[in-house]
A and B are shown apart, each in its own frame.
Chain A
Amino acid sequence: MKKRLDQKILPYILIAPAAIMIAVFLVYPMVRNLTLSFYDYSLAKVNRPFVGLQNFKTFFSPENQQAMRFWAAVKRTIIWTGSNLVVAILIGVGAAFLLFSNFKGSSLLKSFVLIPWILPSVITGFIFSLMMNERAGIITWLLRSTHLVDQNFSFFATGGLSMFAAIMANVWRAFPFFTLMIYAKLCTIPTDQVEAAKLEGTNAFQMFRYVYLPFISDTLSSCIFLCFIWTFNAYDIMKVMTNGGPADSTTTMSILIQREAFQYRSLSNAATMSVIAFTIMLSIIIVTRLVKKIIVREK
């Protein structure tokens, strides 16, 4: 009898350390962040009154300066995430098919392909800053000397180009993830399926559209899901390359929230913004899931 009781408690003892750590340093902060957004919180003041939805009202009143800055950052975050995903998927999936075509040397290429993913993202930010630097950048020099751009061209002069530069750096970092996941999946495709399609005389495009694409679609959507979360919350590369500039034109939500909290020390505002940001992210995920379900059902 005693032994059976032990057996019943044992699994809970084993998961307890993990559960406690996650509860204290992950779940509690999440909840605390939500409650903070209902208070006028400041480290310096002893009095921290409950203000209800007041903090949220600030961000939903159209003429408010802070609200305008925040929603501009939301817009930029969506542009940033969308462009990153599209380019990373195109290059990532393309590279996966390239590896899958099994040429001589493909295994060598495969062993290099994860380097960008392993290289710390801060370093990625710095090396792309250097390569696109106005004076010393090799990419800037290449574009200038081929006269694709004029001689005083600089990536970091305008918001659009700065955003483009940061997207390039981030895509470089993100695409290998797609490549390896899709490649791993492609390697498990049943050969008879491919052979049958070939016997029917399908061309390369049809092959991709009707044989390979349905086969990889589940893996692809899991990868998109993960990459969406990473990119939406990305901080390091943008911080290092543009620090939100010039003139706030590349300030995404992570940058704005971090600055609000640790430069201006307005903790309630930062908490409120991060609650709204998280809600936006979740709604995008939920809506896309619903749309996907409806499409699948209609098929």
Chain B
Amino acid sequence: MKQKPIHRSLGANIFIYLMAVILLLIIVFPFYWIVCTSFKETLDIYVIPPEMFPKHFDLGNYKLAFSKYKVMSFLGNSLKVTITTVIATTLIGSLAAFALTRMDFLGGKAFKKFLGMTQMFPVVVLLVPLFIFCSKLKMYNKLPSLILPYIALQLPVSIILQSGYYKDVPLAIEEAAKLDGCNTFQMFGLVFMPLVTPGIVATGVYTFIQVWQEFLIASSLITKKTMFTLTVGLTTFKGDEMNDWGSLMATSVIIAVPALILFNLSQEFFINRVAGSVKE
């Protein structure tokens, strides 16, 4: 995919670099501003003209986030919800993806088509029934009321992405294993698993990022503060009248960092796979 270097006029080059710098600024600045604000003391945040760098790296906002705003409890809830959802979605999705790509059965194609269609379901349509459902099952204000819908919402994309990896395993390997007398379970565990693990992990990362930032369901079905997830917890950072920006940004950093690290680890996947599945 490497292109040969193209000779361009000086004007064209200047234009390209200028646009590149502007684009980079637009992309990076808001993120930089979150980090920068998180290290500023409250009064410094309101200084005009705004200070481009924090005077000293003040960790007060981070301390306040944990002591006053109970970020630890939000963090715990978010981790519980996200990790459970990711593991369940990826495992359940993996089984389905294996069946859909490697077995021929009545209804398989229709199911795949249906999975694509579910992407049109707006979450807001599901809210009221989920709320009634949860209050009937006495799940209201408990974490399973989030985990169960999350699994269902994430499964279609997880299956579609994982199918791509199962499809890539050459038929020859499958046939060779069959000749050696592998049954379906051995085939799944011994032949496919090692080959598709990178893809499954990458799909899990995608699910993680989606669930980690979910807000609409979490803010609707949970009203007890001790059960809030991180994104909902962010809305509680109110000072006397306005947001307590310092602690809010400190917590934002805490939320954003795991997502960004995971994303960086699987960057190639995002660009190639997600692009591939959109084309289909």
Cβ-closest chain B residue relative to A9: B105
A11 touches B103 (CB 8 A): yes
B127 touches A257 (CB 8 A): yes
B266-280 interface bits toward A, Cβ cutoff 8 Å, 1 = contact, 0 = none: 010011101100110
| Chain B residues near A267 (CB-CB < 8 A) | 128, 131-132
B186-225 interface bits toward A, Cβ cutoff 8 Å, 1 = contact, 0 = none: 0000000000000000000000010011011001100000
A259-278 interface bits toward B, Cβ cutoff 8 Å, 1 = contact, 0 = none: 00110000100110011011
A130 touches B152 (CB 8 A): no
Q: How many angstroms between the C-alpha atoms of A22 and B275 in the bound complex?
A: 25
Q: Is B59 interfacial (CB 8 A cutoff)?
A: no
A180 touches B275 (CB 8 A): yes
B119-155 interface bits toward A, Cβ cutoff 8 Å, 1 = contact, 0 = none: 1111111111111110100000000000011011101
| Chain B residues near A172 (CB-CB < 8 A) | 26, 30
A277 touches B135 (CB 8 A): no
Of residues 20 to 58 in A, which have CB atoms within 8 Å of B's CB atoms? 21-22, 24-26, 28-30, 32-33, 36, 41, 43
Chain A at the B interface: SS class? helix
| Chain B residues near A116 (CB-CB < 8 A) | 27, 30
B17-45 interface bits toward A, Cβ cutoff 8 Å, 1 = contact, 0 = none: 10110011011101101100100000001
B16 touches A98 (CB 8 A): yes
A-B contact count (CB 8 A): 266
CB < 8 Å neighbour of A126 from B1, B26, B243? B243
CB < 8 Å neighbour of B120 from A7, A218, A282? A282
B122 touches A114 (CB 8 A): no
Of residues 254 to 269 in B, which have CB atoms within 8 Å of A's CB atoms? 255-256, 259-260, 263, 267
Q: How many angstroms between the C-alpha atoms of A145 and B49 in the bound complex?
A: 9
CB < 8 Å neighbour of A253 from B92, B124, B128, B234? B124
Q: Given A18-B92, A103-B16, A136-B245, answer yes or no on A121-B278 (Cβ-Cβ < 8 Å).
A: no
Chain B at the A interface: SS class? helix
CB < 8 Å neighbour of B50 from A113, A141, A222? A141
A123 touches B279 (CB 8 A): no
Chain B interface, number of residues (Cβ within 8 angstroms):
90
Task: Identify the interface centre among A21, A28, A116, A258: most chain B CB within 10 Å of its CB.
Answer: A21
Of residues 220 to 253 in A, which have CB atoms within 8 Å of B's CB atoms? 222-223, 226, 229, 232-233, 235-236, 239-240, 253
A25 touches B111 (CB 8 A): no
Q: Is A131 interfacial (CB 8 A cutoff)?
A: yes
| Chain A residues near B66 (CB-CB < 8 A) | none
Interface pick from A64-72, A82-90, A104-112: A104-112
Q: How many angstroms between the C-alpha atoms of A181 and B274 in the bound complex?
A: 8
A18 touches B131 (CB 8 A): no
A98 touches B122 (CB 8 A): no
A162-203 interface bits toward B, Cβ cutoff 8 Å, 1 = contact, 0 = none: 000000000010001000110011011000000000000000
Chain A interface, number of residues (Cβ within 8 angstroms):
93
Q: How many angstroms between the C-alpha atoms of A111 and B265 in the bound complex?
A: 12
Q: Is B73 interfacial (CB 8 A cutoff)?
A: no
> Measured between C-beta atoms, what is the minimum distance from B68 to chain A in Å?
18
Q: How many angstroms between the C-alpha atoms of A205 and B98 in the bound complex?
A: 46
Q: How many angstroms between the C-alpha atoms of A222 and B276 in the bound complex?
A: 12
| Chain B residues near A235 (CB-CB < 8 A) | 123-124, 215-216
CB < 8 Å neighbour of A274 from B125, B263, B275? B125
B99 touches A11 (CB 8 A): yes
Q: How many angstroms between the C-alpha atoms of A30 and B114 in the bound complex?
A: 14
Q: How many angstroms between the C-alpha atoms of A110 and B264 in the bound complex?
A: 12
CB < 8 Å neighbour of A43 from B48, B98, B130, B132? B132
Task: Identify the interface centre among B45, B124, B219, B267: most chain A CB within 10 Å of its CB.
Answer: B124
A115 touches B31 (CB 8 A): yes
B27 touches A120 (CB 8 A): no
> Measured between C-beta atoms, what is the minimum distance from B3 to chain A in Å?
5
| Chain A residues near B245 (CB-CB < 8 A) | 130, 136
A226 touches B278 (CB 8 A): yes
Q: How many angstroms between the C-alpha atoms of A145 and B37 in the bound complex?
A: 21
CB < 8 Å neighbour of A130 from B37, B129, B132, B270? B37
B152 touches A33 (CB 8 A): no
Q: How many angstroms between the C-alpha atoms of A253 and B213 in the bound complex?
A: 21
- Given A120-B255, A126-B248, 5 more contacts at CB 8 Å? A36-B128, A123-B256, A229-B122, A270-B127, A274-B125
Chain B residues with CB under 8 Å of chain A are: 1, 3, 5-6, 13, 16-17, 19-20, 23-24, 26-28, 30-31, 33-34, 37, 45-46, 48-50, 92-93, 95-96, 98-100, 103, 105, 108, 111, 115, 118-133, 135, 148-149, 151-153, 155-156, 159, 184, 209, 212-213, 215-216, 219-220, 231, 234-235, 243, 245, 248-249, 252, 255-256, 259-260, 263, 267, 270-272, 274-275, 278-279
Closest 5 CB pairs of A and B: A120-B213, A25-B152, A184-B275, A29-B129, A14-B99
